[in-house]
Amino acid sequence: MSALLRFDGKVVLVTGAGGGLGREYALAFGERGASIVVNDLGGDIKGDGKSSSAADKVVEEIKAKGGKAVANYDSVENGDKLVQTALDAFGRIDIVINNAGILRDRTFGRTSDLDWDLIHRVHLRGSFLVTRAAWNHMKNQKYGRIIMTSSAAGIYGNFGQGNYSAGKMGLVGLSNTLAIEGRKYNIHCNAIAPTAGSRLTQTVMPPDLLESLKAEYVAPLVLWLCHDQCQETGGLFEAGAGWIGKLRWERTQGCIVRHRNQAMTPEAVREKWDRVCDFTDATKPATIGESLSTLVEVLSRLDTDEGIAPNPTSAAASATSGGINSLEAVGRKLPDTVFSYSHTECILYALGVGMSTREPDHLRFLYEGHQEFGCLPTYGVIPAQASMMGLGSVPGLEFDLTRLLHGEQYLEMYKPLPTSGKLTSKATITDVLDKVSGAVILLDVHTYNGEDLVCFNQFSVFIVGAGGFGGKRTSDKAKSTVAPPDRAPDAVMTDETTRDQAALYRLSGDWNPLHIDPSFAAMGGFKSPILHGLCSFGFAGRHVLKQYANNDVSKFKSIKVRFVKPVLPGQSLQTEMWKEGNRIHIQCKVKETGAVVLAGAYVDLHGTEDTTTPEKLPEAGGLQSDLVFEEIGRRIETMGAELVKKVNAVFGWEITKGDDVAAKWTIDLKTGVGSLHKGPFSGKADVTLTVSDEDFMDVVLGKLNPQKAFFAGKLKMRGNIMLSQKLEMILKDHAKL
């Protein structure tokens, strides 16, 4: 390990390199093989004046030792010119050391606008302009090292240095963000707070101390941070007198000072102040994701007055340099979570996914006194989702929580969900994928009721912008999506969501602020809160359950969806369904825009084929049975959808069962989508459809195409129907075929 750290072939720009620390950096890099741009305006300590001699002298010194260097005399406010000097002289720019600085110390009350502006122009704006000029070159070459010079005066504050300390702390924030943005381009950025004898400190430090605080005791830190071997980025270091220390934030556990549904008061803050400020078991959040995950946790724990528990893994997490590291994360188990719920949450969930007392058959999910009261199977994702809390603090998974979107979801039920209970979920990170535009985290969660395995979930979480970390792109552990058959859907169901759909949906246990809090949504890049992916998922799941399983939850086996586009509360969701044996392929669109929002999706049911086998029909009452009417509706729907593409008229059919209308089928003429409304509705039908038993069976078994049957006259329509002339013509045309 004693090999010399060299910088051969690297081009380094050091600002303010005419003396002090900057000169020391320039000489040290020059000695170790780098080509140097020595920038110095040659002004005085307050930023007045200009001369070329300081920079020239250092260039001569470097050259005298056999190094390569050129001078630049521009102000850092002309960042482009400094970088251009490097490009002109050496053809590239690899390392930028933002070091130039001036002082205009004043007590705060006496600080003039000029005192403030000059300091910011040189320190903060100057570092910004120089670094920005180099940034795209570094990005293109996928290499860059940047140092921001902060100061203890910024970190801790210092009497008479309000302007300076504000600028210096600003540089720490800038450095943190550049470290995040630069990570995928191999650009590292660190901030240092050096203490050394220089023009800036000679007025405030005694000569003895100055002597021991030599600039040469800081330069080695800068060289190490800029070397290829050093993986540090986003760090803040204090250095002086041959000592180096790293800084990080520490945060108390804090404590919740409000209760759900109650106002937060200053008195409550006073009461809890000691706990707010108690550093026992303090945490060390290292990323904005870790910081925000606390708030998500708070929202789920508003009924307690506990502090936010120190996270056992957060220290380890902050010890890494951040970002996604799949090797470190895959295989990790998250802490078990326990989810308690009662029939209230089951009912809230049913309402949240659009169920309504308008539909009589929804009552079994909305009324706990109903003799068949049950919980919708898709609610099985909610107890498992509590595991998300653990994601923010897994080593190797450092990301911004506001960039997290639900990517895909698989749910398999082993038992119907109890309508109340305490379920335990055990979660493991099964894979982490690099999709370049984002990272995908696969999380497998098994949920138990006591010893019994109730369901299995695979969450696929898409972290926008976190890709490009060099991981694999696909995984054999991922539950696959499946494309639907290449034909018009067999059935379509449409439901409106309301403006408050997300607000209602979250009450059953999915508290992510992305779906209610405009400022959180804005941080994730959305104009307004979006609907939970799992809410659209719930709509689609219940559409299938109703269409193909008569709302019998025991028939529901599994569901898989991919979330392709966000849905906004208030938009209508349209589920297209294709039946292939026990698998119902689904695709969900936003009706208003036609955009596909759930794709590659399917629901697997238990034994649905039984419901339409010929053997079963007589038992169920032949043509009079509900199942038969449903089947007719479905077949007609396919046919109708085809027709409506060509017809522009108000059009609908009712199907009779005895004297009552058993089902109504209507077409939305704007979209051309038909939907079946199952009765019984009282009163006689305006229009009835009749069919011989034989032909009907052929239609049901798929031997006879209902559209052809209709036009061949096998499926007859009776009653008073007002046909537009256009429709009549089309029907006649078809009849000829």
Ligand X SMILES: CCCCCCC[C@@H](O)CC(=O)SCCNC(=O)CCNC(=O)[C@H](O)C(C)(C)COP(=O)(O)OP(=O)(O)OC[C@H]1O[C@@H](n2cnc3c(N)ncnc32)[C@H](O)[C@@H]1OP(=O)(O)O
Catalytic residues: 164
In the complex with ligand X, the residue whose CB is nearer, 170 or 352, is 352
Q: Distance (Å, rounded) from C-alpha 447 to C-alpha 383? A: 7
Q: How many residues belong to the site for ligand X (CB under 6 A)?
A: 29
Q: How far is the CB of 225 from ligand X (least distance, A)?
A: 33
Residue 349 contacts ligand X per CB under 6 A: no
648 CA to centre of own chain: 43
Stretch that binds ligand X, among 25-33, 337-345, 384-392, 629-637 (CB under 6 A): 384-392
Helix and strand numbers, DSSP H then E, in the chain: 26, 23
In the complex with ligand X, the residue whose CB is nearer, 128 or 379, is 379
Binding mask 443-482 for ligand X (x = CB under 6 A): x---------------xxxx-x--------xx--------
- In this structure, the number of other CB atoms found within 10 A of the CB of residue 157 comes to 12
Residue 533 contacts ligand X per CB under 6 A: yes
Q: Distance (Å, rounded) from C-alpha 411 to C-alpha 409? A: 7
Residue 352 contacts ligand X per CB under 6 A: no
In the complex with ligand X, the residue whose CB is nearer, 36 or 348, is 348
- Amino acid present at 713: G
Residue 438 contacts ligand X per CB under 6 A: yes
> Is the link from the previous residue into 377 a cis peptide, with omega within 30 of 0?
no
Strand 11-14, strand 596-605: pairing: unpaired
Q: Distance (Å, rounded) from C-alpha 441 to C-alpha 326? A: 9
Residue 563 contacts ligand X per CB under 6 A: yes
Write out the DSSP string of 320-342: S--SB-HHHHTTPBPPPEEEEE-
Binding mask 484-513 for ligand X (x = CB under 6 A): ----------------------------x-
Q: Distance (Å, rounded) from C-alpha 159 to C-alpha 165? A: 10
In the complex with ligand X, the residue whose CB is nearer, 354 or 533, is 533
In the complex with ligand X, the residue whose CB is nearer, 175 or 294, is 294
Which residue is associated with the tokens 């007198």? 241
Buried b (16+ CB within 10 A) or exposed e, 222-257: bbebbbeeeeebbbbbbbbeeebeeeeeebbbbbbb
Please, are residues 337 and 425 in contact by the beta-carbon 8 Å criterion?
yes
Residue 514 contacts ligand X per CB under 6 A: yes
Residue 388 contacts ligand X per CB under 6 A: yes
Beta bridge partners of 439: 434, 463
In the complex with ligand X, the residue whose CB is nearer, 198 or 512, is 512
Residue 144 contacts ligand X per CB under 6 A: no
Q: How far is the CB of 563 from ligand X (least distance, A)?
A: 4
Residue 560 contacts ligand X per CB under 6 A: no
516 CA to centre of own chain: 15
Stretch that binds ligand X, among 15-23, 163-171, 438-446, 585-593 (CB under 6 A): 438-446
Q: How far is the CB of 462 from ligand X (least distance, A)?
A: 4
Beta bridge partners of 427: 445
Residue 678 contacts ligand X per CB under 6 A: no
Q: Distance (Å, rounded) from C-alpha 99 to C-alpha 148? A: 7
Q: How far is the CB of 573 from ligand X (least distance, A)?
A: 13
- How many angstroms separate the first and last alpha carbons of the chain? 87
Please identify which residue in 140, 437, 624, 648 interacts with ligand X, judged by CB under 6 A: 437
Q: How far is the CB of 409 from ligand X (least distance, A)?
A: 8
Please, are residues 405 and 462 in contact by the beta-carbon 8 Å criterion?
yes
In the complex with ligand X, the residue whose CB is nearer, 586 or 632, is 586
Q: How far is the CB of 524 from ligand X (least distance, A)?
A: 9
Residue 566 contacts ligand X per CB under 6 A: yes
Residue 93 contacts ligand X per CB under 6 A: no
Beta bridge partners of 675: 666
Stretch that binds ligand X, among 404-412, 538-546, 575-583, 666-674 (CB under 6 A): 404-412
At what angle are helices 79-90 and 126-141 packed, to 10 degrees?
40
Beta bridge partners of 516: none
Stretch that binds ligand X, among 185-193, 263-271, 557-565, 573-581 (CB under 6 A): 557-565
Please identify which residue in 6, 68, 227, 565 interacts with ligand X, judged by CB under 6 A: 565
Using alpha carbons, select from 187, 111, 113, 92 the residue that is nearest to residue 148. 187
**Three-state DSSP class for 440?**
strand
- Greatest pairwise CA separation for the chain in angstroms: 110
Site for ligand X in 165-184 (CB under 6 A): none
Stretch that binds ligand X, among 36-44, 80-88, 381-389, 604-612 (CB under 6 A): 381-389
Beta bridge partners of 409: 459, 561
Tokens of 56: 């020239």
Stretch that binds ligand X, among 418-426, 545-553, 563-571, 607-615 (CB under 6 A): 563-571
Please, are residues 381 and 540 in contact by the beta-carbon 8 Å criterion?
no
In the complex with ligand X, the residue whose CB is nearer, 128 or 459, is 459
277 CA to centre of own chain: 32
Q: How far is the CB of 595 from ligand X (least distance, A)?
A: 10
Stretch that binds ligand X, among 147-155, 434-442, 610-618, 684-692 (CB under 6 A): 434-442
Residue 406 contacts ligand X per CB under 6 A: yes
711 CA to centre of own chain: 51
Q: How far is the CB of 260 from ligand X (least distance, A)?
A: 19
For residue 470, which phi and psi values (nearest 5 degrees)? Answer: 85, 20
Q: How far is the CB of 407 from ligand X (least distance, A)?
A: 3
Q: How far is the CB of 454 from ligand X (least distance, A)?
A: 16
Q: How far is the CB of 324 from ligand X (least distance, A)?
A: 14
Residue 530 contacts ligand X per CB under 6 A: yes
Q: Distance (Å, rounded) from C-alpha 603 to C-alpha 626? A: 22
Please identify which residue in 35, 195, 387, 402 interacts with ligand X, judged by CB under 6 A: 387
> What are the residues binding ligand X (CB under 6 A)?
385, 387-388, 405-408, 435, 437-438, 440, 443, 459-462, 464, 473-474, 512, 514, 530, 532-533, 562-566
